[in-house]
A and B are shown apart, each in its own frame.
Chain A
């Protein structure tokens, strides 16, 4: 358990660094070229790490056919998030992505689909997930709320603020 928490903290921190680096790449290069580059380097690094830790054992595996299509999911992530950000703007889109992520997580743990160990649903876990979602929304949308009044009557100033 403690190991799981530790790994998740390390992993999340690296996601943040990677997002920052990718944002710098995207200043010059398109989303899809950036995605291709990131996936290629991710493959190279995993491959080298695998060779270092397991030697040629890396090549001894028995994959089910669908494993070879697993990359589609990652491309789906990029396509949907990019579209969402373009339409809604980054803070609203990313907050929705994160809330959706955590609710689907709860659903998945509850249903135990895809060989995942089933975690029985409790109302307490729903409250936890609702609080996490509230925290995400506060984090992402908070700066906007601080700057703007809640009620805006003049449509012209509304546009100016956006």
Chain B
């Protein structure tokens, strides 16, 4: 039960984040909004790291620089998210984001790219994505 509530809340926060970012960006600009939300989030996260006395950053040297720099992709993600929400609202933006995300996840897992353990793609996953695309078409008709 607790797990379900956490997961539902996580979804709420993700949507709230898209909406808040779009609102902030329409008032102060997209890059300003992206920089501000990431910086304030960082300050809070580093606080948590200090409070729980987390020393695992020492192992960062063992992480490939390519993977460690993944955070920079957030600039592209945030910019496209904010602009898409402005253009077509949050429901459709989230729906298409999820479809693109899952399709690429199938490819990455299927090919075993980026050190991911290779997985066989099930029929249910293809059907799942097709059903989501059908849902988007119904949403937009």
Show the binding face of A for B, using Cβ within 8 Å: 1, 3-5, 7-25, 27-30, 32-33, 35-47, 49-50, 53-54, 58, 61-64, 67-78, 80-81, 83-84, 86-88, 92-94, 96-106, 108-109, 113-117, 119, 124-125, 127-143, 145-146
Contact = CB atoms under 8 A, between A and B. Distances in A.
Given A30-B49, A76-B9, 20 more contacts: A7-B80, A12-B97, A43-B35, A45-B75, A46-B74, A62-B28, A63-B32, A68-B40, A70-B21, A81-B7, A83-B6, A84-B6, A98-B11, A108-B15, A108-B19, A135-B128, A135-B132, A139-B132, A142-B124, A142-B127
A67 to B, nearest CB: 5
A73 B66 CA distance: 27
Contact of A30 (B32, B56, B78, B132): B56
A120 B99 CA distance: 24
A127 B74 CA distance: 31
Interface in B5-25: 6-24
A92 to B, nearest CB: 8
Describe A's contact surface by its main secondary structure. helix
A132 to B, nearest CB: 4
Interface size on B, as a range, is: 35 or more
B49 A16 contact: no
Interface in B76-103: 76-81, 83-85, 87-103
B122 to A, nearest CB: 5
B89 A17 contact: no
B114 A20 contact: yes
Interface of B: 2-4, 6-24, 26-29, 31-46, 48-49, 52, 54, 56-57, 59-60, 62-64, 66-81, 83-85, 87-105, 108, 113-116, 122-125, 127-141
B75 A42 contact: yes
Contacts, number: 433
B63 A24 contact: yes
Contact of A116 (B19, B34, B92, B136): B19
Contact of B70 (A1, A36, A38, A117): A38
A94 B108 CA distance: 17
Nearest to B81: A11
Given A33-B49, A87-B2, A63 B97 contact: no
